Amino acid sequence: MKEYELFIGPQHPGTTGNMMYHIWADGDVVKKVECNVGYLHRGFEKLMESRLWMQNVPLICRICVPEPDVNEAAYAMAVEDLMEWEIPDRARYIRTIVLELARISAYLMAIGGYAGSIGIYTLPQWAFGDRDYILDIFEQLTGARVYHIYIWPGGVRWDMPAELPMLMEKTLSYIEERLKMYDDVLFRNRIFFDRAVGIGKIPHGKAIEWGVTGPNLRACGYGYDVRKLEPYAAYDDIDFDVVKYPNFNGFDVPSEGCDVYSRMLVRRIEIEQSINIIRQALKKMPSGEHILKHPNWLRWKVPAGYSFKRVESSKGEYGYFVVSDGGLKPVRIHVRGPSYTHGINVAESILKEANIADVSQILFSLDVCAPDIER
Amino acid sequence: MSILKPLKAWKHLAKKPHTIRYPYEEHVDMEGKKLPVDTLRGFHTNDLDKCIGCGLCGKICMNEAITYEKIPELKEKGLKGINIRPVIDYGRCCFCGLCTEICPTKSLKLTPNFKLISTDKKDYKFMPTQLVEKNDDFAVDLDKVLFSPDDYSKKFNEEEKDNAKES
Ligand code: SF4
Ligand code: SF4
């Protein structure tokens, strides 16, 4: 059969966000892929150069929709580094809780989206519904459901309301309960098993070379997690093990890793890990101040220098490179989004020789987020 | 691995759905607390007598959503400060709350009120006053904005016909 072209995106439920994969296929088999971005460029990095240090805070969270808090945390950490600030202990714990809640909500979205891509439409409805219970917590903690603008340089915006830990505990137990249903419908489902094992493999040894990070790298058997290697917030006081292939406690490990199956299972197990982290953080949380005193925002000068701070997001390693010349505004801010490598280089390579029907499940398993490719 | 386990999902047929018929049904959290909570960042409220017209809120707002308007009556009341008060364009505002944090008199605040439905874009720009705090101010005639599906398709068809006539 003759080779033909196919466009997946920019408006296609099989891609995660407004981006396009231009595919050349022979029959059912993909021969060549070209990733096409540019539908979502909002110029955040340039915009940040023309705003005061504090004015950037409401802007940066908009870079990533499913998990905005990692942006706030990385930016805040970089500014604190330049200011040589040591944030209060309570703020460190609240940040950990917020980041882990955001991780759970992002994973729920990723798992729901993935299940939709292999035709299990029950799970997207459940996952998005359950995610809303986490947004309820965010609403009470931060005053907003999606863009929280809560992690500020120097700490967190408000203290945690006294009754919130109870609601969190209730929601977490509910999600734990629900995960059992998720297992029945997706993770222990024969359909998932047959469709995902051995599909979309990142070739052995290539993962590091290609710059894969986060759950996608852990699915290849590397125990790489920024939370462990370079602990930020309160992660150094918290006891947790990095989830990696093949330590899928209780789940089958039929494949050699690096495939769709292991990538999704790492995410599934990390939800439990996040729940565990939040419980520990709630227990250990000290009392005290939640934020340092800010200088006058309109005349806030950050000392000259540069700082690169990274955090572990649900998609991979997320970093902010901030340069200051000692002025009122940053000189340059560069965002290192994990989807840049996953969505362009990795996806273009591993989609080759894949079946057209598998294209969207491979993309969803990489958890590509178009907004953080383009900023 | 099983092919039968997924069928357990059927038991949800007998359960209450996640979704609520908002705004007819109340939105509550897991513990039954009514949402939105008071800390939700919605429309502003401003105590015009407390505000001193310093203009800081307009300076920090990165969306340039805040402009100022003169209120001559304030001068007559023998007020300190300048007789300008902030006017907020909700087409631009992102409800970040930086303006309320920087306000030296703390007269400007955010309310949990977020409902504003209008077909006229001029309605989205107004001066926040204390009155905004009351939800009734924004109480929308729900029947006017929410059509039943039948009405909706009727209205849609009529508009389609009009469009066809014009073109
Ligand atoms: S609302 Fe506050 S910041 Fe704005 S002009 Fe009035 S006093 Fe100044
Ligand atoms: S809430 Fe934010 S965007 Fe809205 S007027 Fe205040 S500073 Fe401007």
Instruction: For chain B, 167 residues long, give each residue's pLDDT as a single digit of tens.
Output: 677 777 777 887 888 888 887 767 788 888 888 888 888 888 888 888 888 888 888 889 988 889 888 877 776 666 666 788 888 888 888 888 889 988 888 888 888 877 776 667 777 788 887 555 444 444 445 555 555 666 667 777 777 787 777 76
Task: Give the list of residues 6+ apart from residue A332 with CB closer than 8 angstroms, or none.
Answer: A45, A49, A321, A322, A323
Ligand 2 site, CB within 6 A: B 60-61, 63, 65-66, 88, 93-99
> In this structure, what token pair is assigned to residue A296?
């006058």
In what order do the strands lie in the sheet containing A29-36? A3-8, A20-26, A29-36
Domain count along chain A: 1
Give the integer Cα–Cα distance in Å for A233 and A93.
Answer: 7
pLDDT value, residue B14 = 80
CATH of residue A33's domain is 1.10.645.10
Does the beta-carbon distance from B39 to A158 stay under 8 Å? Answer: yes
Give the residue from A70, A120, A109, A118 showing the smallest Cα distance to A267. Answer: A109
Cα angle A263, A269, A274 (rounded to 5 degrees) comes to 120
Partner residue opposite A51 with nearest CB, options B29, B59, B62: B62
Range of the domain at A231: 5-374
Task: Determine which residue's CA is closest to atom 4 belonging to ligand 1.
Answer: B57
| Cα-only R_g, chain B | 23
Quote the minimal CA–CA distance from B124 to chain A in Å: 20
Give the integer Cα–Cα distance in Å for A123 and A130.
Answer: 10
Find the length of chain B.
167
Task: Give the list of residues 6+ apart from residue B144 with CB closer than 8 angstroms, or none.
Answer: none
The predicted-structure confidence for A37-73, as pLDDT tens digits, reads as follows 888 888 888 889 988 999 999 988 888 888 889 999 9
Strands B108-110 and A317-324: unpaired
A197 touches chain B (CB under 8 A): no
Q: Cα–chain-centroid distance for residue A107?
A: 8
Give the residue from B148, B118, B145, B116 showing the smallest Cα distance to B132. Answer: B116
Task: Determine which residue's CA is closest to atom 1 belonging to ligand 1.
Answer: B108
Cα angle B101, B103, B104 (rounded to 5 degrees) comes to 120
A190 touches chain B (CB under 8 A): yes
pLDDT value, residue B131 = 53
For residue B126, report the distance from its CA to the centre of ligand 2, in Å.
Answer: 13
Give the integer Cα–Cα distance in Å for A9 and A18.
Answer: 7
Task: Give the list of residues 6+ apart from residue A158 with CB closer than 8 angstroms, or none.
Answer: A141, A142, A143, A150, A290, B39
- Chain A residue with minimum CA distance to B114: A144
Give the residue from B29, B36, B24, B11 showing the smallest Cα distance to A126. Answer: B11
C-alpha distances in angstroms, A17 versus A193, A276, A336, A354?
A: 26, 30, 18, 21
The predicted-structure confidence for B102-136, as pLDDT tens digits, reads as follows 888 888 888 887 777 666 777 778 888 755 544 44
Residue A138, judged by CB atoms within 10 A of its CB (0-12, 13-18, 19+), counts as buried
Partner residue opposite A252 with nearest CB, options B1, B5, B97: B1
Strands B108-110 and B125-126: unpaired
Is residue A6 classed as helix, strand or coil in its secondary structure?
strand
Partner residue opposite A193 with nearest CB, options B1, B62, B98: B1
B98 touches chain A (CB under 8 A): yes
pLDDT value, residue B137 = 43
User: What secondary structure does DSSP assign to B40-100, as a single string?
Assistant: ---SEEE-TTT-----HHHHH-TT--EEEEE-HHHHHTT-SS-SEEEEEETTT-----HHH
Task: Give the list of residues 6+ apart from residue A9 with CB closer than 8 angstroms, or none.
Answer: A15, A18, A19, A20, A21, A36
Q: Give the ipTM.
A: 0.78
Q: Which value, to the nearest 10 degrees, does the dihedral of the CA atoms of residues B14, B15, B21, B23 take? A: 150
Q: Answer with the residue of higher pLDDT: B155 or A113.
A: A113
pLDDT value, residue A236 = 87
Give the integer Cα–Cα distance in Å for B6 and A47.
Answer: 48
Give the residue from A333, A313, A304, A261 showing the smallest Cα distance to A82. Answer: A304
The predicted-structure confidence for A3-47, as pLDDT tens digits, reads as follows 888 888 788 877 777 888 888 888 888 888 888 888 888 888 888
Does the beta-carbon distance from B5 to A185 stay under 8 Å? Answer: yes
pLDDT value, residue B78 = 61
User: What secondary structure does DSSP assign to A300-357, as a single string?
Assistant: --PPSEEEEEEEE-SSSEEEEEEEE-SSSS-SEEEEE-HHHIIIIIIHHHHTTT-BHH
Does the beta-carbon distance from B6 to A147 stay under 8 Å? Answer: no
Give the integer Cα–Cα distance in Å for B104 and B112.
Answer: 21
Q: Cα–chain-centroid distance for residue B117?
A: 8
Average pLDDT, stretch A82-104? 91
B29: chain A residues, CB-CB within 8 Å: 133, 136-137, 140, 167
Partner residue opposite B6 with nearest CB, options A136, A189, A298: A189
Helical spans, DSSP H, in A143-259: 164-182, 190-196, 206-210, 214-218, 226-229
User: What secondary structure does DSSP assign to A39-104, as a single string?
Assistant: SS---HHHHHHTS-TTTTHHHHGGG-SS-THHHHHHHHHHHHHHHT----HHHHHHHHHHHHHHHH
Ligand nearest to the CA of B104: 1
Task: Determine which residue's CA is closest to atom 7 belonging to ligand 2.
Answer: B61
- Amino acid identity, residue B105? T
Q: Greatest CA separation found in chain B?
A: 80
Does the beta-carbon distance from A58 to B98 stay under 8 Å? Answer: yes
Give the integer Cα–Cα distance in Å for A329 and A331.
Answer: 6
Cα angle A10, A12, A14 (rounded to 5 degrees) comes to 115
**Strand partners of residue A58:** none
Give the integer Cα–Cα distance in Å for A335 and A44.
Answer: 9
Could you give the domains of chain B? 38-134+144-156 (3.30.70.3270)
For residue B28, report the distance from its CA to the centre of ligand 1, in Å.
Answer: 34
Ligand 1 site, CB within 6 A: B 46, 51-57, 86, 103-105, 107-108
